[in-house]
Homo-oligomer: A and B are copies of this chain.
Amino acid sequence: MTDIDQSTLDKFKGVSTPTLATALYKRGLRNQAIQGVLPLGNLKQSMVGRAFTLRYIPAREDLNPLSVFLDPQHPQRAAVEACPPGSVLVMDSRGDARAASAGGILVRRLMMRGVAGIVTDGGFRDSAEISGMEIPAFHQRPSAPTNLTLHQAIDMNVPIGCGGAPVFPGDVIVGDTDGVIVVPAEIAAEVADEAVAMTLYEDFVVDMVGQGQSIIGLYPLTNPDNEKKYQEWRLEQPPQ
């Protein structure tokens, strides 16, 4: 698994998912957004962490009585205990929110273990409780039924699809109010750097537009006057 510095991960905390999507788009990657998921509750800051995955398949009734959870090796429970602190648990629920992918107790356990976040392309139960926890969680919509109703956890930390996006173990997962973006581990460092630079320029553009300037020649930068203004503006910014 590609090594990624903590300083790189920290950079992702200061950039938005739209900026990341554009940086990936420049590299020919058009399909790295986990479609249709949003955070539960109010995010205090972006979710950032490397992907640890859990794969569900459709549940077969005879293999999914409640008693399966008596087995400490059950993949869902095992994943909750195995997902490394600082990682994001990403679940392939085949986009099916008719039964929950997880509930309040498992998410609380992940939080206590220092996991950085949790994502499903299905739904969570106990959504109000999860909304109040200190761990970012992203899903499609709340869903009361137990996962056993429709989802059978089958293996962990394999490549999966989630919300139509490919997710490989170790990819950088970033989530904010616009959803979740998957940054391939191999290009995480360069994407982080570029996104930081883009963010700075976008902040300048927001300032200028807020002062009444037209976007033409400014966004994107084509008028050299704006280049000059930007360099001056940067000097005025407080150090970060």
Classify chain A's interface size. Answer: 35 or more
Q: Which of B105, B164, B178, B179 contacts A206 (CB 8 A)?
A: B105
Q: Which chain B residues lie closer than 8 Å to A177 at the CB level?
A: 127-128, 142
Q: Which chain B residues lie closer than 8 Å to A141 at the CB level?
A: 36, 38
Q: Which chain B residues lie closer than 8 Å to A98 at the CB level?
A: 33, 35, 164
Q: How far is the CA of A232 from the CA of B58 in the complex (A)?
A: 39
Least distance between A220 CB and chain B CB atoms (Å): 5
Least distance between A15 CB and chain B CB atoms (Å): 11
Q: Which chain B residues lie closer than 8 Å to A58 at the CB level?
A: 31, 161, 164-166
Find out whether the CB atom of B142 lies under 8 angstroms from the CB atom of A31.
Answer: no
Find out whether the CB atom of A146 lies under 8 angstroms from the CB atom of B21.
Answer: yes
Judge whether A7 is part of the interface by a CB distance below 8 angstroms. no
Judge whether A117 is part of the interface by a CB distance below 8 angstroms. no
23 A-B residue pairs with CB within 8 Å: A20-B144, A21-B149, A22-B145, A25-B145, A28-B28, A28-B61, A29-B61, A30-B61, A30-B149, A31-B61, A38-B141, A58-B165, A70-B222, A72-B222, A80-B215, A81-B215, A94-B161, A98-B164, A105-B202, A105-B206, A112-B210, A128-B177, A142-B178
